Chain A
Amino acid sequence: MLRLPRFDVQEPASVAEALEALARHGDRAKVIAGGTDLLPNLKHRLAAPAVLVSLARLDELKAVRVEADGTLVLGAMVSLDAAGAHAEVLRRAPALALAARQVSGPQLRRMGTVGGNVLLDTRCRYINQTHFWRKALGFCLKKDGTVCHVVSGGSRCVAAASNDTAPALLTLGASLSLRRADGERTVKVEDFFHADGTANTRLAPGELLVAVRVPAQRAGHRGAYVKLRSRESIDFPQLGVAARVDVEGGAVVDADVALVALQARPVRLKGVADLLRGRREGEAALETAIEQAGARAYQQCHPMPNVPGDHEYRHEMVPVYVRRALKAALGSA
């Protein structure tokens, strides 16, 4: 078995204690939630923190609740398994529940958390490998090296955002509650990620993600998440597509599509709402609009050979999965 590097583990009993520990240890520390992303990365020597600050005992982060205005709030430590099965999540944010259900396999969904999924490190076929393998290959920009094996001559890491929940949260207009020893802030998911594979979020040093906030959706809200992968379980997305379609009186009033596993951040498809708005269910024009959304996605999205799977094939799958996501959302009523 691969060995973990040596580190200390601290298990604070409250968010305040956790923040204090993070402030004290600075960049020597890392947060560990379920550990299902962090620990393999440590085994691969992608980081060597001296201290892990565990959130395991923070029961205050393990609840799902609905606020008076209908906002759905998931604590960062809610497991993916719980999120995917929760009645309120299924009802208010079906795309999120479906995304959570498609992460990895059952064991990892019980350990893995919603917060950890939002903060999942970017992935690349050349980086999620052992130290030995990366050494034989030649280290890359993301860790220990100066070149990129995906984009030759590239100066920026394009490892892919690979978290299934991210595109769902984008389409839901969700935001994140972040807390630091000296204050707190709320950031919209669409502003949280940026296109740098070495570190694709705007989480500040010493900051904790405490909750994911999904605003109340329209009455006719429908959503779905579909995922391209080689197996029916365990695998990270080679392409993930979330769709939201709001239908009122049989007609589409708004729509949104977001994708993951393309580049360092999840991306929103432009112009979907314009294509679908006003189209009525059961009419050919809606079908045509869905086709057009697929075609547009094909033009806007250009998968790179960063994650496993032939990238040209993944490109061909973009319209297929966009269509499937939209149809699944429409059919979910």
Chain B
Amino acid sequence: MAARDKHGSGPPHGGAFSVIGQPARKPDGLAKATGEALYTDDLALPGMLHAKTLRSTVPHARLKRVDVSRARALPGVLAVITGADLPEKYGVIPWTQDETALAVDKVRFIGDPVAAVAAVDEDTAVDALELIEVEYEPLHAFLDPREALSRAEPRIHEDKKDNVTKHVRLEFGDVDGGLAKADVVVEGEYSFQGTTHAAIEPHCAVARVSGDGLLTVWSSTQITHYLHRALAKVLGLPEARIRVVQPALGGAFGGKSDPFSLEFCVAKLALLTGRPVKMLWTREEVFYSHRGRHPMQMKYRTGATKDGKLTSVDAKILIDGGAYTSFGLVTTYYAGQLLTGPYDFPAYRFDSTRVFTNKPPCGPKRGHGSVQPRFAFEVQLDEVAEKLALDPIEIRRKNYQGAFTTTVNGQRITSSGFGQCLDAVEKASHWKARHGRLPFGHGLGVAGSMYISGTNYPVYPNELPQAGIQLKVDRSGLITVFTGGNDIGQGSNTVVRAIVAEELGVELDAVRVVAADTDLCPVDLGAYSSRVTFMVGNACIDACRKMRAQVTQALAEKWGVEPSRVALVKGEALEAGGEERRLPVREAFQLAEARFDTLGATGSYNTPKLGGDYRGGTIGASPAYSFTAHVAEVVVDLETGRVSPERIWVAHDCGRALNPVIVAGQMEGSAYMGAAEAVLEEHQIDHRGLVVGPNLLDYPIPTSLDTPELHSLIVESVDPEGPYGAKEAGEGPLHPAIPAIANAVFDAVGIRLRELPLTPARVLKALKEKRARDDAAGLKVAGGK
């Protein structure tokens, strides 16, 4: 049975932490900064071929003919494959597998992969694509989710009964009664535009088949384990004949958490040709593979009493999923399930529907499923405060649910530092003196949020640990730790290294982390749902405590003291109190090896049973929740309508900051990304189904000059079940960014924008309308006198 909350939240030997809580550099930081780090595209194997993908130029069509004969005949081309070569379906969630590596019978969006070519070099592969003939029989393309909801034919996926991916309706408490008894009810429609991750590194995969038949796939993935399973299924090979490795990775943000076409294509092409094959996507192809944040149309109704206590929340959400399901099942639930903190909802209903459309598939992006509803709700909460003439921070404080409680939908909340988060941003921003008092055009806005630290729902049902760790302790004093965790830049390898150093009393550079290699490392489910620090961290403590027990026992026996008197700290083994004996820790390891045999240990983690007792009750049920509050300060240019977020104060309760530099980095990165989604970014599809400008010039991500001043305020609530009390910090801190900015715009100029992004054109239009309204009101008043 996998271990969980039995380690407590203190250091291994009582006293103070020596490594945990200290700012430390990432082990791979220097290599990345100097260019030494090896990314997937840096791999060059002898005899390696280069592969390219032919993609659909139409949004929805039956494939009548795909003729690859001319491409195959081009000198330098070694293999050409189509959907017929890889017909097996896959998808990250077992019961919604609806993708194939290359189109079979149909294409479903502009950019859907149709064929792949392996050639001696990229140019030849590009030329070969031009020689493939494809005949399409066009079908009606669904580009508006409302149409996809109301019209079942033609079906985008013919094995479904209509164009709906998933519909969830859940109700907790007496929603209508709560609204009826409310003193004030605010109703509104909100829309989120859809955005993409724009990780710096485009997707890349390399495959090689060795003489003994082992297939190795290197890929820029954040889910080595699921990819391993998917490759086995699609290629019809036993998992034991496949090895998946994640090299250094240049950002993912959720955009690399599905198995992707290129991984199957390089594997198949390597199997067919017997030569290594690489495929590197262009930026444009990354825009097509997408899996970005879903566009959502959201209706909310919120009721509250005169003194600002919420009575009821009612939500209806339409989610534009794009052409495939991806994590869509989870998205549909997360859109509703994750809103029930940090505020107490006495009654809550959500009705959430994800539909298919003929657009690039959406998926998980940092803050999966819950960023959009959070925007809608936090803006609406501000409107409630406005109606009741309450301070926006006060109304949030008033409704704060507190720690160690259960939400209306049955989620167990353990530690919560949300109250301190509110205090911290209020103080740092000088809210009391400045909110509502800044000159016209300048404003402050607040928002709060909650997010999961992993979930107890593994994407395929199983009783196995969610995270595992293996330790090898060497006579030299070096410890090698093997983790399946995917470090995608968030710093999970740094966390693992720090935990090992803390537990076994070695310096950081005496710990080597080997990660995300299915041949070498125990399974971890991957870097998604903010699960890695919590779960891998706990597994790591588990393994270390077993190892530590052996080392301390060996020493205790030698010194003739109780094992509890032996401490391992910063390269030394020492006797606490007593005769204060000490020894280099390396010698302690040797004693232990002599006493117990070759040193090694494993550790694992699994969640306790969690979640509400109803269908879907476990989705979004997390062993611990993180909490965040933002105050954003904006300037609105009254002539151009441009909203400039000037400063953002981010207070985040991460339980315990294992490494405060990395936590602050995640908080800043989150606020940056959220601010961009508030005012700048939009993954736009035009009326033909084409991505508007699939490149980083047309899709603007903020430059350093467009980035607000970011202030990270770390709050530590010390969770009873997290590793040393830690919770997540990678996704939660993004959530309040968007509504805090929208609310600041209201404070600045008195307009409520419910449609994202807050483009200058939209802001200017709203300003004009407001001026017209104010003038009319002024006239009325004047006329009445």
Contact = CB atoms under 8 A, between A and B. Distances in A.
A130 B694 CA distance: 9
B131 interface: no
Given A1-B280, A313-B764, A231 B690 contact: no
A310 B690 contact: no
Interface in B744-780: 759-761, 764
A313 B703 contact: no
A143 interface: no
Contact of A231 (B57, B695, B702, B759): B702
A186 interface: no
Given A1-B202, A234-B703, 19 more contacts: A1-B280, A2-B282, A105-B703, A125-B692, A128-B697, A130-B284, A132-B55, A133-B284, A136-B57, A136-B690, A231-B702, A231-B706, A232-B703, A233-B703, A234-B697, A234-B700, A308-B693, A313-B761, A313-B764
Nearest to B696: A234
Interface string A220-236: 00000000101111111
B688 interface: yes
Interface string A116-134: 0000000001001110110
B745 to A, nearest CB: 17
A125 B58 CA distance: 19
Contacts of A233: 703, 705-706
Contacts of A137: 688, 690
Give the interface centre of A105, A312, A313 by most chain B CB atoms within 10 Å.
Answer: A313
A98 B656 CA distance: 49
16 contacts: A2-B283, A3-B123, A6-B123, A125-B692, A132-B55, A133-B284, A133-B690, A135-B57, A230-B680, A231-B680, A231-B706, A233-B705, A233-B706, A313-B761, A316-B764, A320-B640
Nearest to B123: A3
Contacts of A236: 697
Nearest to A125: B693
Given A125-B693, A320-B640, A308 B705 contact: no
* The 8 residue pairs across chains A and B that have the minimum distance between CB atoms: A232-B705, A313-B761, A136-B57, A233-B703, A230-B700, A310-B761, A320-B639, A231-B706
B122 interface: yes
Interface residues of B, number: 33
Interface in B263-307: 280, 282-284
Contacts of B58: 136
B693 A132 contact: no
Contacts of B700: 230-231, 234-235
A317 interface: yes
Contacts of A320: 639-640
The B contact surface, by secondary structure, is: loop
A70 B10 CA distance: 76
A105 B695 CA distance: 16
B122 A3 contact: yes
Contacts of A231: 680, 700, 702-703, 705-706
Contacts of A136: 57-58, 110, 688, 690
Contacts of A235: 697, 700
Q: Is chain A's interface secondary structure helix, strand, loop, or mixed overall?
A: loop
A152 B568 CA distance: 76
B126 interface: yes
B715 to A, nearest CB: 32
B338 to A, nearest CB: 31
Interface bin, chain A? 20 to 34
Nearest to A40: B697
B622 to A, nearest CB: 36
Contacts of B640: 228, 317, 320
B698 interface: yes
Contacts of A105: 703
A228 B761 CA distance: 12
Contacts of A3: 122-123, 126
Interface string A125-159: 10011101101110000000000000000000000
B597 to A, nearest CB: 51
Contacts of B641: 313
Interface in A205-243: 228, 230-236
A6 B124 CA distance: 11
A232 B701 CA distance: 11
A125 B692 CA distance: 8
A130 B202 CA distance: 16
A316 B641 CA distance: 11
A130 B55 CA distance: 13
Interface string A311-333: 01100110010000000000000
A308 B698 contact: yes
Contacts of A6: 123
A264 to B, nearest CB: 20
B706 A232 contact: yes
Contacts of B680: 230-231
Nearest to A44: B695
A2 B202 CA distance: 12
A137 B693 CA distance: 12
A130 B111 CA distance: 12
Contacts of A2: 282-284
Interface string B40-83: 00000000000000010110000000000000000000000000
Nearest to B703: A233
Nearest to B54: A132
B205 to A, nearest CB: 15
A313 B698 contact: no
B703 A133 contact: no
B629 to A, nearest CB: 28
Contacts of A312: 761
A99 to B, nearest CB: 18
A233 B688 CA distance: 30
Contacts of A129: 693-695
A235 B202 CA distance: 21
Contacts of A310: 759, 761
A3 B125 CA distance: 11
Contacts of B55: 132
B765 to A, nearest CB: 9
B256 to A, nearest CB: 18
Given A230-B680, A232-B705, A313-B764, A130 B282 contact: yes
B220 to A, nearest CB: 14
Contacts of B760: 313
A17 B122 CA distance: 34
Contacts of A1: 202, 280, 282
A243 B135 CA distance: 54
A2 B230 CA distance: 29
A327 to B, nearest CB: 12
B176 to A, nearest CB: 41
A312 B762 CA distance: 11
Interface string B677-709: 000100000001010111101101011011000
B117 to A, nearest CB: 13
A132 B761 CA distance: 31
Nearest to A233: B703
Interface string B722-734: 0000000000000
Contacts of B692: 125
A137 B692 CA distance: 11
Nearest to A235: B700
Contacts of A132: 55, 57, 284
B53 to A, nearest CB: 10
Interface string B560-579: 00000000000000000000
A113 to B, nearest CB: 20
A105 B701 CA distance: 14
Contacts of A228: 640
A232 B55 CA distance: 34
Contact of B698 (A125, A232, A316): A125
Interface in B635-694: 639-641, 680, 688, 690, 692-694
A130 B126 CA distance: 13
B286 to A, nearest CB: 11
Contacts of B123: 3, 6
